[in-house]
Structure 1
Amino acid sequence: MSGETPLPATDPRSSPTRRISIVHVRSGVHILPREMLGTSTFGVAMKLLKWLPTQVVDRFLLIMAKMMIGDTEKYGLKRPKVGPLELKNTTGKTPVLDVGALSLIRDERIKIVSEVESLTSDGARFVDGGEMAFHAVVFATGYKSNVPLWLKDAGGVLTAEGKPEEHPFPNGEKGIYFVGFSGKGLLGASVDAIKTALDVSARWTRLSETKDVVGL
């Protein structure tokens, strides 16, 4: 359900015809319906953001979500105190769109469990003292930039964490542009790509004009 969720996949004690997945959501998660008002939820959000503040749009999304998919907290899926879009803007955590998981949770084919304390030889032990055995355990713990592994001799461009140094975007430092590092998902990557294209075009135009002047 979340990008940072350890996901013990299947409980071997369930019947062969009814496998049960066990999910631990380490932190709060915003679950939103896939569509609202006949269009994609993110599409609705982007349109509203053109006219309304983020907090107002967040409030609208949460009201609609509660009307359409109900109260997710009663299934152990706590919502963060910060709204979904504001959380995305400040931390990069993207809301989860429900494409059928909630119905499986209601049907108890997916179970939400407490925080994992440690792994055992055949499963996991939880902070509430319970233990379960699993066929497989999947760690969805996010990712780390590996840019420094293949982008060498780029001193002053990258931080130790492999992210671009703080500077107005884009600046084309050393001919390098970073797209998708804003922490704002696909929308942020789209904005970065457009800004990069415009900046490259402007630089090329200036370079062409300079060459024309030199040629004269």
Structure 2
Amino acid sequence: MANFTKEEIDVVVVGAGPSGIAVAACLNNLGINNVVLEKQDCCAYLWKKKTYDRLHLHLSKDFCSLPYMSHKTSSPKYMPKKEFIRYLDEYVDHFNIKPKFKTCVEAAFYNNQEKKWNVKSRNLTSGEIELYVSDFLILATGENNLGYIPKMVGIENFEGKIIHSSDYRSGEKYKDKKVLVVGSGNSGMEIAFDLSNYESHASIVVRSPIHVLTREMVYMAMLLLKYLPIYLVDTVIAIYAKFMFGNLAELGIPQPEEGPFSVKISKGRSPVIDVGAINKIKLGQIKVLPGISYIKEHTLVFDNGNEHQFDAIIFATGYKNIATKWLKDYSSIFLEDGTLINWKGENGLYCAGFSKRGIAGISMDAIAIVDDIKTIRGDKI
């Protein structure tokens, strides 16, 4: 029988990615007692072990810092993965954040009699059961939690390689292979570009309308949005993008009727930041294909009736929120599918990093959550 420990604490934070450490830093800054529980063996596990090699921040570092710690002036404007990970590690050290690693939360519920959160976790090293009793519970597991591969007709019959983008590192092992990328967001487009650079025969499925911009277009828009209404910024950037890329619909890449930043607000979809994929599509080095009808052993049949053979399929189809599996009553913050309703739930329950606003959104979430906790606690601080 596993050993059992119990600890009372002010705040439990679940997750030690950027969201979790941002919240912990804000709590530590006010001297609020907290514990950060992390299933993996390090902070920022996804950044360190589940991202592809050529990844860079798509936004300028000016919009990608966590609370109370800006990036160094010597850091590149668009930070590569290694540089950003170094920043996160320095952030953890600076704010004296000490997560409990290899600790998996198995259940959490609000005890109405005690007026406390009960969070049950398991130490994955010792097997020990740990119960935390707290006034506040903050879910900081974020949007990028569990890789999602959609159900498709015949997918179980495919005899080639199938992976999620979180397991992709580089195109080196796919040289001379026919590889299909499913998903035309930032990860999908960048992976297709990377595959092509390694001389694979890359194709990408583009099903839904998307906006394609450059990093500098987004940077300019972020500055303009401080002074101009969103519809005007959308108009200026859309004209700029059409001048830069031409009519992308002719390449099989339709665009939404709404402007790029209106779409971001209304639907939570970020524009695709082009890193070179569009030029390769124009040169025929990356093929654009429509939606998939069904999958056979070695080939895929597409919505236009065409059939193509592939050695591998890489799904850049996003992630699933799995907090709903262990949180007993999540109705005040999530829908059944894990979609965020509110950043603040009932009885001291909060969400950080689910707002689809990137690192800047994580910072805003962390500050708002801890300010709210400070207000509720009053003179306890």
Unaligned runs of 5+ in 1: 11-16, 210-216
**Structure with the largest fraction of helix:** 1
**Correspondence for 2:263 among 70, 83, 87:** 87
Question: Which residue in the other structure is 2:361 paired with?
Answer: 188
- Going from structure 1 to structure 2, the CA distance change for 1:89 and 1:135 (only over 3 Å counts) comes to same
Aligned-residue offset at 1:160: 1.9
Q: Could you list the per-position Cα deviations for residues 139-193 of structure 1 after superposition, in whole angstroms to 9, with x for gaps in the alignment?
A: 2333322111232355645432234544xx5x46333221233344444333222
CA distance in 1, matches of 2:259, 2:224: 15
Unaligned runs of 5+ in 2: 1-182, 193-197
Aligned-residue offset at 1:208: 2.3
Q: Does 1:125 align with 2:297?
A: no
**Structure with the largest fraction of strand:** 2
Pairwise CA RMSD = 2.9
**Correspondence for 2:317 among 137, 141, 149:** 141
Question: Which residue in the other structure is 2:11 paired with?
Answer: none
User: Is the Cα contact below 8 Å between 1:6 and 1:137 reproduced in 2?
Assistant: no
- Going from structure 1 to structure 2, the CA distance change for 1:172 and 1:76 (only over 3 Å counts) comes to closer
Moved beyond 6 Å, runs of 4+ = 4-7
Aligned-residue offset at 1:19: 2.7
Q: Give the 5 Å matches for 1:31-180.
A: 31-36=212-217, 41=218, 43-153=219-329, 156-166=332-342, 169=343, 171=344, 173-180=346-353
Q: TM-score, normalised by structure 1?
A: 0.76
- Going from structure 1 to structure 2, the CA distance change for 1:136 and 1:95 (only over 3 Å counts) comes to same
User: Is the Cα contact below 8 Å between 1:180 and 1:188 reproduced in 2?
Assistant: yes
CA distance in 2, matches of 1:4, 1:100: 12
Question: Which residue in the other structure is 2:206 paired with?
Answer: 25
User: Is the Cα contact below 8 Å between 1:33 and 1:68 reproduced in 2?
Assistant: no
- For residue 319 of structure 2, what is the amino acid of its counterpart? Y
Q: TM-score, normalised by structure 2?
A: 0.45
- Percent identical pairs in the alignment equals 36
Aligned-residue offset at 1:101: 0.7
User: Is the Cα contact below 8 Å between 1:29 and 1:77 reproduced in 2?
Assistant: yes
